[in-house]
Structure 1
Amino acid sequence: MDDDEIASAAARFHEDVPHRFQVSLTMSIQTRERLRAIQDELNETVGEQLFTTNDVMRIALFGADRYHALASGQVQELEAIDEDQLLPLTAPIREVLKTENLFDSPEQDSD
């Protein structure tokens, strides 16, 4: 994903998701730090302080919902919203999580 795609997806996300929806959660320090790292990565990618913690939570929940729909067969293929918004917005999230080794590598699967 290039920075322009992420910035464009961010703009559409902000237009589509009203800011009146707020997230109020109690979370571990590790989760809070991970959310902050993801927020920083997203903001660094677009070059401005555009994303809030609430945005990161909404992106994560929306991404999980879309992934579940695809993985469970409820949706057979990616839709325009997945390609236009979800893929660009979740790419920086994946980068942050990869730095923490939270994904299994193919080598680990073959053990």
Structure 2
Amino acid sequence: MTDDEIAAAATRFHEDVPHQFQVSLTMSIQTRDRLRAIQDELNDSVGERVFTTNDVMRIALLGADRYHALATGEIQELEPVDEEQLLPLTAPVREVLDGEDLLDPAERDSS
């Protein structure tokens, strides 16, 4: 993914996903640090501080939902909105997780 694709996806994401739901979470320091690393990676890709922790959580949840739908056969392929918006936004998430060796080696080999 290019930085321009991530920036365009960030703009669409902020327009399409409401910010009306915010929750307070208790999490481990490791999880908090990982979320911060993903947030930093996303913001570095855009070149400015656009993404919040709430955004990172929503991206992770949306990505997990779409992955589950594909993995279970609920959907057969990604929709255009997924390819335009979700793939560019989840690419930095994957970078952080891959950098920490958190992905299944079979998953890393298939990319």
Normalising by structure 2, we get a TM-score of 0.92
Q: CA deviation at 1:43?
A: 0.2
The residue aligned with 1:74 is 74
- Does residue 26 (structure 1) correspond to residue 26 (structure 2)? The answer is yes
Q: CA deviation at 1:82?
A: 1.1
The residue aligned with 1:40 is 40
Q: CA deviation at 1:54?
A: 0.1
Gaps of 5+ in 2: none
Gaps of 5+ in 1: none
Query: In percent, how many aligned pairs have the same letter?
Result: 79
Normalising by structure 1, we get a TM-score of 0.92
The residue aligned with 1:51 is 51
Q: CA deviation at 1:24?
A: 1.5
The residue aligned with 1:98 is 98
Find runs of 4+ consecutive structure 1 residues off by over 6 angstroms.
Answer: none
Q: Which structure has the larger Rg?
A: 1
